[in-house]
Amino acid sequence: MLKLSNNASSFFLSESRLLRRMLLLTSLLWFIVLTAGPLPAQIDTGGITGTVTDPAGAVVPGATITLTNDATGVLLSTKSTSSGTYSLNAIRPGTYTLRGEAAGFQAFVDKGLEVHVQNTLTVDIPFTAGAVKQEVTVTAAAPLLQAENAAVGQTVTSQTVNDLPLNGRNWTSLGQLAAGTSTAPVGQPSGNSGSTDSAYFSVDGVNLWQNDFRLNGINDNIEVYGGSSVGSNAAIIPPPDAIQEFKLQNGNFNAEFGHSTGGVINAAIKSGTNRLHGDLWQWTAGSGVSPESVWRDPGWTGLYPKDLQRAGQDIFLC
């Protein structure tokens, strides 16, 4: 009977263990490749950054920075770095209160900070000597310059969406409020093209199909979900009451964008508050309330083929 030496047995055992480890590692790598998906960027959020200093102007590391959503009470917290800077990212649009605390200084409170889509606020925290129980409270003022982001665009808030007239409750047409936009050619690609109430518009002279619609950070273009291409090249258009705000960006996009060469219409849906609230609405476009156009076709009677009515309700809660 053939017997293996101890050295030969150890060799085969080592080879067997190595083979098992290689198979296990290969299986793990294949599992990661097959299950991993693209990580979506936080393109429908904003941020706050700044520097924490003492009365002498020296930086204060290790300070506790807390951000509270005034409507929901949701908290975000971080600490200042060794260089005194802090950064809070992926913040949903809304109104916030910022609080800074450090030993030996009075607490700093900044109220009424408005965070918008794709907008980063710079809020420096100048501490004052004193007990932490004491507070220095300031009220935020509108920043004169967006210093943290070079992107060009315009934010349309929910108040603007609700206050301005909309044809068919299509809020995407308000993107034409931004500089650099122009209406699409008349009748191309739909019957209402060429008017300011149409959601078909060109940004900076680029083809209208090069506009990129985003809803809560998700690709909302017809090319992804399909659609009728009537009134807008966005696939899903929530009612205007559900829109927190949207921003039309038309230049110097961040690296997280790259779908189109035109504009980015970046919308965020309301997330609710701690209180139950909603809307009840009815929209009517009928012959009795439609004005006669001075540019009408000679054969036009001035009447709609039939009255158009829509009704609905929206309920929001946290």
Mean pLDDT of the 28-41 span? 58
pLDDT above 90: residue 258? no
Q: Are 224 and 246 in contact (CB under 8 A)?
A: no
Mean pLDDT of the 73-86 span? 95
Question: So what's the pLDDT on residue 136?
Answer: 80
Pairwise CA distance, residues 274 & 167, whole Å: 32
Cα end-to-end distance, the chain, whole Å: 78
The 10s digit of each residue's pLDDT in 100-140 is 999 999 999 999 999 999 888 999 999 999 876 778 888 76
3-state secondary structure the chain: CCCCCHHHHHHHHHHHHHHHHHHHHHHHHHHHHHHCCCCCCCCCCEEEEEEEECCCCCECCCCEEEEEECCCCCEEEEECCCCCEEEEEEECCEEEEEEEECCCECEEEEEEEEECCCCEEECCEECCECCCCCEEEEECCCCCCCCCCCCEEEEEEHHHHHHCCCHHHCHHHHHHHCCCEEECCCCCCCCCCCCCCCCCEEECCCCHHHCEEEECCEECEHHHHCCCCCCCCECCCCCHHHEEEEEEEEECCCCCCCCCCCCEEEEEECCCCCCCEEEEEEEEECCCCCCCCCCCCCCCCCCCCCCEEEEEEEEECC
Complete domains list, the chain, with CATH: 46-139 (2.60.40.1120), 152-272 (2.170.130.10)
Whole-model pTM above 0.85? no
Burial class (CB in 10 A: 0-12, 13-18, 19+), 295: exposed
Q: Which of 133, 151, 169 is nearest to 249 (CA)?
A: 151
Pairwise CA distance, residues 230 & 228, whole Å: 5
Question: So what's the pLDDT on residue 37?
Answer: 47
Which of 99-103, 175-179, 182-186 is least confident? 182-186
Question: So what's the pLDDT on residue 39?
Answer: 46
Number of other residues whose CB lies within 10 A of the CB of residue 156: 24
The 10s digit of each residue's pLDDT in 134-171 is 788 887 666 656 666 667 788 999 989 988 888 778 88
pLDDT band at 60 (very low <50, low <70, confident <90, very high): very high
Question: So what's the pLDDT on residue 305?
Answer: 46
Question: So what's the pLDDT on residue 95?
Answer: 93
Average pLDDT along the chain: 78
Q: Are 184 and 202 in contact (CB under 8 A)?
A: yes
Question: So what's the pLDDT on residue 318?
Answer: 40
pLDDT band at 289 (very low <50, low <70, confident <90, very high): low
